[in-house]
């Protein structure tokens, strides 16, 4: 497992923790309060880039072994 793949797993784990914390926070808000998740504008593209790079690395390493 490469360093990039480990970082990707760490980011995914951190995102799950963040999402749980945000959902707990949202559950404590009054029902009439709007929730605008501007954080996802940054989180989703970053996760997508890391996941795609990790998958590309994994596929490339499998090709080299054959």
* CA–CA distance, 34 with 31 (Å, rounded to integer): 8
Tens of pLDDT, residues 16-35: 999 999 999 999 999 899 99
Residue 65: per-residue pLDDT: 78
- Any idea how long the chain is? 66
2 or 62, higher pLDDT: 2
The gap from C-alpha 9 to its chain's centroid, in whole angstroms, comes to 8
Confidence (pTM): 0.86
Provide the pLDDT for residue 46.
97
3-class DSSP state for residue 35? coil
């Amino acid at each position: 497992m490469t360093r990039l793949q480990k970082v990707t797993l760490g980011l995914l784990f951190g995102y799950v923790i963040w999402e749980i914390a945000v959902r707990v926070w949202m559950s404590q808000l009054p029902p009439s309060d709007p929730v605008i998740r501007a954080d996802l504008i940054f989180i989703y593209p970053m996760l997508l880039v890391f996941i795609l790079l990790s998958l590309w690395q994994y596929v490339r390493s499998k090709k080299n072994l054959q």
